[in-house]
A and B are shown apart, each in its own frame.
Chain A
Amino acid sequence: MDAGRAAPESDPGRLVRPFAIGVDGAPATSGLDLLTRVVARRPPGDDDHMRPERESLLRLAAQPQSVAELAALVGLPLSVAKLLIADMIESRDLALCTSASAVPGDDVLHMLLDGLRAL
């Protein structure tokens, strides 16, 4: 372990202590699946840098983004990301875009065919 290593001479940038991620209670994650899309209701604010994962999520979800992509981009295990996202939906920092991935109709299948052929 390198816990006792001296700090580097060069400017390490903003340093943040490795706090645990706090989530109040146990928000329901059952409505969230991998392809649920969420969008930020607000840009990250001055207070958010104390909670870097939430700050990142607000930034990454400026445009609608899937739960799977958010988890990967923030680097959190899926179940943890889901908890955090559910909590941020409850606190109205994020909003759901769609409920879940629906089974696509025939029109969508035709679009898929055309789109894949054009790749």
Chain B
Amino acid sequence: MASADSDNVAPHSGAGSGAEPGGQIPLAVKILVAGGFGVGKTTMVGSVSEIAPLSTEEVMTEASMGVDDLGGVEDKSTTTVALDFGRITVNQQVVLYLFGTPGQGRFWFMWDELAEGALGAVVLADTRRLDTCFPAVDFFERRRIPFVVAVNRFEGAHDYGVEEVREAVDVSADVPILLADARDRQSSKSALLALVEHVMHRRSPAMSARPLP
């Protein structure tokens, strides 16, 4: 294999992108799909992903996660947090990863790692229990991570207007709110587009192409 000497593989060295065979590695962009438990996060990830959503998990113990402690893990109370994600190859230079964030509030510890370097988030809301999206909204507001609110339209749920939802969720006027169907690829795609446009808008109001529909 080429260039065995040229890159030092200490994890922090950031060994450089071109050091290995295969040349340029596409930039990985991360978007989070957040919201309460059972609101359709994995469904949305799956509807736009080019791969069947993958699931990985994190096993947590109530004790500190010291590496040398793992031997005794079976005696401690453990919790498994599933993390579902999908991928969209945008072009040869950019790959988009979508991560469904664990819905329950007690998994905040995972959100920090997930949010690190994220472009932004789609917060899915269910009008039958809007309060379940409040923790996600708070999380992203506090960290100044751009987000849009997508109201997932469930069968049998009363159709609220966008402004009614805005009032109930109490997000600032510039946060886009849209009605969505997480099962529908076009609809999920629209939510992602709205987010990317919102990110552009926040960076430079002048460059935003047009108001959101």
Contacts and interface: CB of A to CB of B under 8 A. Distances in A.
Interface string B36-75: 0000000000001000001111110000010110000000
B27 A102 contact: yes
A100 B28 CA distance: 8
Interface string B1-31: 1001001011111110101111001011110
A69 B189 CA distance: 22
Contacts of A30: 11-12
Contact of A116 (B15, B19, B88): B88
Contact of A96 (B11, B80, B91, B192): B11
B207 interface: yes
A73 to B, nearest CB: 7
A35 B97 contact: yes
Contacts of B22: 39, 63-64
**Most chain-A Cβ atoms within 10 A of its Cβ — which of B11, B97, B199?**
B11
**Most chain-B Cβ atoms within 10 A of its Cβ — which of A35, A69, A77?**
A35
Contact residues on B (Cβ < 8 Å of other chain), bracket: 35 or more
Contacts of A99: 13-15
Contact of B27 (A33, A63, A108): A108
A37 interface: yes
Contacts of B11: 27-32, 86, 89, 96
Interface in B70-114: 80, 83, 85, 87-88, 90-91, 93-94, 96-97, 99, 113-114
Given A86-B11, A95-B9, A111-B91, A106 B207 contact: yes
B17 A97 contact: yes
Nearest to A40: B1
Contacts of B10: 31
Contacts of B143: none
Contacts of A83: 67
Contact of A89 (B9, B114, B203): B9
15 contacts: A30-B11, A33-B116, A34-B114, A64-B25, A66-B97, A72-B56, A77-B59, A77-B80, A78-B57, A83-B67, A96-B11, A96-B13, A103-B119, A106-B207, A111-B93
Given A101-B30, A106-B200, A115-B91, 19 more contacts: A26-B68, A28-B11, A28-B12, A35-B117, A41-B4, A72-B56, A77-B58, A86-B11, A89-B9, A94-B9, A95-B20, A97-B15, A100-B117, A102-B27, A114-B90, A114-B91, A115-B90, A115-B96, A116-B196
Interface of B: 1, 4, 7, 9-15, 17, 19-22, 25, 27-30, 48, 54-59, 65, 67-68, 80, 83, 85, 87-88, 90-91, 93-94, 96-97, 99, 113-114, 116-117, 119, 185, 189, 192-193, 196-197, 199-200, 203, 207
